Amino acid sequence: MAPTSTPQTPFGRVLTAMVTPFRADGALDLDGAQRLAVHLVDAGNDGLIINGTTGESPTTSDAEKTELVRAVLEAVGDRAHVVAGVGTNDTRHSLELARAAEGVGAHGLLAVTPYYNKPPQEGLLRHFTAIADSTELPVMLYDIPGRSGVPINTETLVRLSEHPRIVANKDAKGDLGRASWAIARSSLAWYSGDDMLNLPLLSVGAIGFVSVVGHVVTPELRAMLDAHINGDVHKATEIHQKLLPVFTGMFRTQGVITTKAALTLQGLPAGPLRLPMVELAPEEIHQLKIDLAAGGVQL
C-alpha cells in the first residue's frame, strides 16, 4: 500500500518528477531506476512521478512505460506514491496508458494538457474526464501552456475539480494571479510544477511540489516547506534564496538534460539521453557545477 493520502495532500507534499535511467546502449535501465527511486525516497520524497516529461516519456514505448512503473513500485511502492504519467495528445492513447498503469498497481495518474493540437477548453474537459473515468485511480492534472500550447483555464479547472477522481493540479503556468483564483474556486490540491515558484505558490495556497531539482535538493525543499507550514516565513525565504542558483542552473537548458548530468556527477543512475535530447557540452557541465556548488549541492 502507498502512504496514506488525505484530500488536502492526495499524493503527499514533496514529489520528484524522476528521470528515466538508460544503459549505455540506450536501453531501459530498470535496476538503475529502482536504485534512483530508493535514493529519492530516502532523501525525503513522498512520491515520484514516473513517465513524465522529465522521464523522457515522448521517447519511451508503452511497454517500457509499464515496465518502469512496475519496477519502481517494487522498489518503493510501500513507502511512496508512485504516480504514472499518461498524458498524450491522443485521448485514446492516454486511456490505454492509464489502464496499463492501473494494471501494474500505480497509485495515481498524471495527465498533461494535450500538446501541439491545441484543443479548445471543451476538448480539455472531455479529455481529462475520459482519463479520470477510465480507471479508479486519482488524477493529477498538469497545466503547462509553455509546452502544450494551451492553458487549462480557471473555469475548466473548477469544472474538472467536480470529478471525484480529479484531485490535484501540477501548476507550471507561471501565473500567480490565475493560480490564486483557481485555488480559491476549486477543490484541487495544488502542487507547484515550477521550482522557481515553489515558495510563492505556497503563499497563495499550494500544498506541495512536483519538482525537478528534487533530484539533488529534496531535503532543502522539505525544510522550506516545513518552515512555511510552521509559519517561519524568514527561514522559508532564506532556503528559497539559497536555492536560487540551483533553480537557475538546472533550467539553463531542458531540465532532464541537466538533471542527468547532475546525477552522473553524483555517481547516481542516469545514463544517456534519447534523441532529440542531447548531453551537456563540457562548458555547460562546468557551469552546472558552479551553479550547484553555489546552492550548496555536494558533487
| For residues 44-61, average pLDDT | 98
pLDDT value of residue 224: 98
pLDDT value of residue 7: 81
The residues, any chain, with a CB within 8 Å of residue 232's CB and separated by 6 or more, are none
pLDDT value of residue 2: 58
Candidate list 65, 170, 173, 260, residue with the active-site label? 170
pLDDT tens digits, one per residue of 68-122: 999 999 999 999 999 999 999 999 999 999 999 999 999 999 999 999 999 999 9
What angle is formed at CA 21 by the lines to CA 17 and CA 25, rounded to 5 degrees?
A: 150
Ramachandran angles phi, psi of 100, nearest 5°:
-65, -40
User: Worst-scoring range by mean pLDDT, 5-14, 125-134, 240-249, 258-267?
Assistant: 5-14
Greatest C-alpha distance within the chain: 49
* Cβ atoms < 10 Å from Cβ of 285: 16
Q: Read off the pTM.
A: 0.97
Q: Is the pLDDT of residue 1 over 60?
A: no
CATH topology (fold) of 14-231: TIM Barrel (3.20.20)
Ramachandran angles phi, psi of 169, nearest 5°:
-135, 135
3-state secondary structure of 140: strand
Q: Is the pLDDT of residue 6 over 90?
A: no
DSSP 157-213: HHHHTTSTTEEEEEE-S--HHHHHHHHHHS--EEEE--GGGHHHHHHTT--EEEEST
The residues spanned by each domain of the chain are 14-231
285 torsion bin: left (phi>0), alpha (psi -120 to 50), beta (else): alpha
pLDDT value of residue 286: 98
pLDDT tens digits, one per residue of 192-248: 999 999 999 999 999 999 999 999 999 999 999 999 999 999 999 999 999 999 999
3-state secondary structure of 83: strand
Give catalytic status of residue 170 as yes or no: yes
pLDDT value of residue 5: 78
- Paired residues of 139 in beta bridges: 109, 166
H/E stretch holding 116: none
Ramachandran angles phi, psi of 149, nearest 5°:
90, -10
| For residues 179-198, average pLDDT | 98
Where does the pLDDT of residue 62 fall: very low under 50, low under 70, confident under 90, or very high at 90 and above? very high
Q: At what angle do helices 214-229 and 255-265 cross, to 10 degrees?
A: 100
Candidate list 142, 173, 191, 260, residue with the active-site label? 142
pLDDT value of residue 3: 67
pLDDT value of residue 274: 98
- Paired residues of 190 in beta bridges: 169
Q: Report the length, in residues, of the chain.
A: 299
Omega before residue 245 within 30° of 0, cis? no
